[in-house]
Each structure stands twice: as C-alpha cells, then as structure tokens.
Structure 1
Amino acid sequence: MPQHAALPLRHVLTLPAEPTAVRMTRQTAEMTFTEWGIGPSHPTVGPALLILSELVTNTVRHAAVLSPTVTITFAASGHTLAFGVHDRHPHQPPLYGAVTHSGGLGTVIELTAGLGGTAVVRADADGQGKSIWITLPL
C-alpha cells in the first residue's frame, strides 16, 4: 500500500486539463492545507504550491491531448503532506533523470529533495495513465 493511502486527511479535485487548472489547484491547495492546520507561513507550503503548479502545468502542456481531465489528490497527517497529480496519458517521465533540466520536473525534484521528501510515478493498472506522487515531511 502506498504511504499516502494511510494518511487520514484527504481531498480530491478533478479539473479540465486546461491552463486554468493550475490556478484552481493552487487555490484549492491553499484552502485545504489551511483547513488542515498547515497555514501559508508553514515552510513547506510555498515549495509545495510551486511543485503542484509545475506538475499540473506539465499535465496541461503534455498530457491534455489524451487526458481531458487532471485529478489532484491531497493527503496529510500531523507529520506528512502528500499530493498526487493524475492524468490518462501513458508516458511515465523519468523523475530523477529530470534534475539535469532546468524548470519543470527538474524543479519538482530539486524542491522535493530539498524538503527531504520523495517523488514517485505510479502507472494506472491498465498502463494508460499515471500519477506523480510527492510526499513531504511537515
């Protein structure tokens, strides 16, 4: 069972894979994190919002042709914040090879590692989609 599945706090958001999804994801994340007691001044929140923005932007730019929607799952406990960005495009990007590139996934990996977190890609059972999960300590 993935580590994030055991986290008691959950919120799921599904949006059209369009540019407005980035702003809506950030707004929903800020609201959800605050409701969970993870306020905007927490040192993990700013980087987490940037990571989310990069992941949703990548879905809109690269996966929308095969995935008309993007689903973002937020999960947390007292010591962990996790979120996954899911689309129905079969390409699974090599996350840790991305660090050599500026922006995009390179930024995601650098920020995640800098916070002591993890990043994984999980394929859908049918191989026709994937989720990128970020787990960060609080």
Structure 2
Amino acid sequence: MSNQSSVEILTEWDIVAARQLGRNVAKELGFGTVDQARITTAISELARNIYLYAGQGRIEIQQLMENGIKGILIIAADQGPGIPDIRKVMEDGFSTSGGLGAGLPGVKRLMDEFKIETIPGEGTDIRATKWLR
C-alpha cells in the first residue's frame, strides 16, 4: 500500500488522472462506493480549480491512520494568484468560472475536514480529509 502519491495538474487530462488515483486509494482503504464518489468529486473540484485559476499545481493523496481509523487526505497545492477573499469563495453558489461545480463549499461538505491557506500572489494550499466510518 503506497503511502503517498501525487498528480501534477497541467492539463484537463490530469484532472481525470487525479480522480482515478483518488478512487483507487479510497477503494484500497476500504471506502464504499458513495464515499469513493464523494472523494473523487472533491478531487475533481480541487484539480479543476488549480487548472482554471492557477494554471498548474498538484494534487497529493495521502493515506492516514489515526487512533486506528483510516482516512484519506487530499492536498491541492499551487503557486497561483491565491484567493483574495476566502469568505467569498466559501459562500454557496459563488462561482467565478460560471461552472456548475460545487466549488469549495461543496468540497467542504463532501469531506470531514477542510483547511485552506492562501497567500495572494504566492499560491493556495487546500487540505481535505475523509475518515473511514
């Protein structure tokens, strides 16, 4: 069982690759199909955001083990323009791309833990965790 793997996001195909990697890791950890779908949807959103707003970055997927509970950690990191107003992007229905994506609030809802760090002009680091019930 690999502990960590990542996909560089440079093209739309990389979004698909990141989703696939996430699904495989989630399956390996024992997540059911519903949670696998939640995890891959979250990865899609995060990878698409990197592709649309930062141009490039990476999705890292790590397997977690805490107090005997397995989990999956998705890290979306880029050196893009950063997010000027985190509160605004965390509002439901806010979209700058006009996409139907659930956006960051959707990712937060799909996962158990969600943390975002951004520095305008330097980039963004988002960490989303799902624990195996």
TM-score, normalised by the number of residues in structure 1:
0.69
Q: 2:115 aligns with which of 92, 116, 120?
A: 120
Task: Tell me if structure 1 keeps the 8 A contact 2:75–2:126.
Answer: yes
d(CA) in 2 for partners of 1:132, 1:111: 10
Fraction of identical pairs, as percent: 16
**Aligned equivalent of 1:6:** none
Give unmatched runs, 5+ long, in structure 2.
Answer: none
Cα deviation for residue 76 of structure 1 reads 2.5
d(CA) in 2 for partners of 1:114, 1:85: 15
1:21 aligns with 2:14: yes
**Aligned equivalent of 1:61:** 52
d(CA) in 2 for partners of 1:30, 1:61: 22
Task: Tell me if structure 1 keeps the 8 A contact 2:73–2:130.
Answer: yes
Letter in 2 for 1:132: I
d(CA) in 1 for partners of 2:38, 2:24: 16
Letter in 2 for 1:26: R
d(CA) in 1 for partners of 2:71, 2:28: 15
Runs of 4 or more, structure 1, over 4 Å off, are none
Cα deviation for residue 45 of structure 1 reads 1.4
Give unmatched runs, 5+ long, in structure 1.
Answer: 1-8
**Aligned equivalent of 1:11:** 4
Task: Tell me if structure 1 keeps the 8 A contact 2:29–2:71.
Answer: no
Letter in 1 for 2:61: T
Task: Provide the aligned C-alpha RMSD in A.
Answer: 2.7
In the TM superposition, 1:28-39 aligns within 5 A as: 28-39=21-32
More strand by share: 2
Cα deviation for residue 135 of structure 1 reads 1.9
Aligned pair count reads: 121
